[in-house]
Structure 1
């Protein structure tokens, strides 16, 4: 059995936190130790410290002998065949990403997870709904694309409000509500992927919105799987969202004002 050491990612985490401390006062996050066999690990997609913290947790699980499936938002579900084919051909993490990865992700953050999963011999599961399929959901509804359309009104209201607010005034309420349906489809797809691998354990890598217990993937898990799961929000300091089983804070990532770029271009046709 391959033994994986968490020492390297812990050094990455320390380096990321040190970089943050060089420009701002920020506390190093404590080690992240999952406590359930089904783990939903949230993220802010561009936060380096958060990725390092989660990688250390994943590698520590593997080092302890756990063999959870790695379920990833970063791979669209229809790319599972390409992912499996690249793996069967002996491809490394770069080969799998080249075969099945898409644009819009900083793959330098996710390559170490894929590499660790390959070394450990655990499944790598494509769990996201593509933008093309999301557009179909927005146009035709959830049921037409095989998703559960029985979505409580408060869930849609919350998601639509979050989407509208995150688009810096560039999105109307009707479009935000259609985009909320696409968000639900993605949450349900991730929940289904977790269900398929829950018996042997699973770790989901997804944005914090997808791991929220009130409106995200956890609410679409079966009661049995939900009882064996833990939704961990890995949030930036100052983020007030607390709808997780556990909340872990990391230093804020320095970034440009997202609203400045959004005001300079039309709103995106689908939200991640």
Structure 2
């Protein structure tokens, strides 16, 4: 009797699962839930694309600008995969990076040549804190395939001093340091300037102008670095990695590239979320990812963090 009772309970527990339930479970297992690594690619017209289709669409570009939210795993994964896909169809690739500066180009070159190790690259090259998790895959792909890496950006201390003192700060730099920043800064009232101004909320016009000079010092320097490189290596294709604000909608670095050489074809790949998209009619290919977590909920804590950053910048010693 107990034996049949046990079998009956087993039937109740396991035998009553319907065919529909099993099917639903199998469908769920075959379609994993999205993670922060996942992304969906779209054309500028909003049509879904595969990574291979994206690479083909970018084939004729001289420069491909790929944006990121710094530290977003989905953006960094997309950058690495796109780099590899572009290389498959165009082996004469070059990696250009916001994350290394012109004054550290020799350190990057030493690493690519195997003359120094990664720890030395990170220390002497002033690599970003997230280098190991987010930028190592890009640099290692370049190293493995003997591709150049352009340390494209202007040094942060100089840019911060421009933010404090304005464009005139560049005139006080020694010649050896002045060449680490673009010869010309784009300071006119273009669409990028308007977008930057709209993101400022402190109401101090002079301060905003100094801060924009610092912002465009990054964009102009990165643009000049790539344009100068292609002038010496015209058959190369560059993939450039930079923050989303520098890349989106062709306003920042892209416009500065075109101003220097309008014959270059520049194409843009920008991360988006449900809430952060690109303007309608923008030339960007996009890839949709989950948004990053909210940085601050408490306004006081956010203000305290901003004051800490401001304090560090204020303590910076600039050329007199």
TM-score range, shorter chain: 0.7 to 0.9
**RMSD after superposition:** 3.0
Corresponding position: 1:205 with 2:265 = no
Distance between the aligned counterparts of 1:227 and 1:209, measured in 2?
21
- SS of residue matched to 1:151: coil
For residue 178 of structure 1, what is the aligned residue in structure 2? 210
Q: 2:66 aligns with which of 22, 29, 41?
A: 41
Contact 2:39 2:74 in 1 (8 A): no
Return closer, same or farther for 1:247/1:239 CA change in 2, 3 Å cut-off.
Answer: same
Could you tell me whether the CA contact under 8 Å between 1:161 and 1:176 is conserved in 2?
no
Q: Which protein shows a greater Rg?
A: 2
The counterpart of 2:266, out of the listed 229, 242, 249, is: 229
Aligned to 2:110: 85
After TM superposition, give the deviation of residue 184 of structure 1 in Å: 0.5
**212, 232, 238: which is aligned to 2:275?**
238
**By how many angstroms is 1:105 displaced?**
3.9
Q: Aligned in 2, Cα 1:151/1:176: closer, same or farther, shift over 3 Å? A: closer
- What displacement does 1:249 show? 1.9
Aligned to 1:11: none
**Cα–Cα, structure 1 residues 258 and 208, in superposed 2: closer, same or farther, change >3 Å?**
farther
Q: Does 1:141 align with 2:167?
A: yes
Question: Please, which runs of 5 or more residues in structure 2 have no aligned partner?
Answer: 1-31, 42-48, 172-177, 314-320
Q: Give the alignment partner of residue 256 of structure 1, picking from 277, 285, 295.
A: 295
Q: Provide the C-alpha distance between the structure 1 equivalents of 2:87 and 2:116, rounded to a whole number of angstroms.
A: 20
Q: Which residue of 2 aligns with 1:19?
A: 35
2:139 paired residue number:
114
Give the Cα separation in 1 of the matches to 2:213 and 2:195.
Answer: 12
SS in 2 for 1:221: helix
Matched, 1:63 2:85: no
CA distance in 1, matches of 2:33, 2:139: 23
Correspondence list, 1:88-167, <5 A: 88-91=113-116, 95-138=120-163, 139-141=165-167, 144=171, 147-154=183-190, 155-162=192-199, 164-165=200-201
TM-score, length of structure 1 as denominator length? 0.77
Alignment deviations for residues 162-201 of structure 1 (CA, whole Å, 9 cap, x no partner): 2x25xxx6x8443333111111010011101211333211
Is the 1:48–1:253 Cα contact (8 Å) retained in structure 2?
no
Give the distance between the partners of 2:117 and 2:33, measured in 1 at CA.
29
Which structure 1 residue ranges, 4+ long, deviate > 6 Å from structure 2? Answer: none
Distance in 2 (CA, whole Å) between partners of 1:205 and 1:27 is: 17
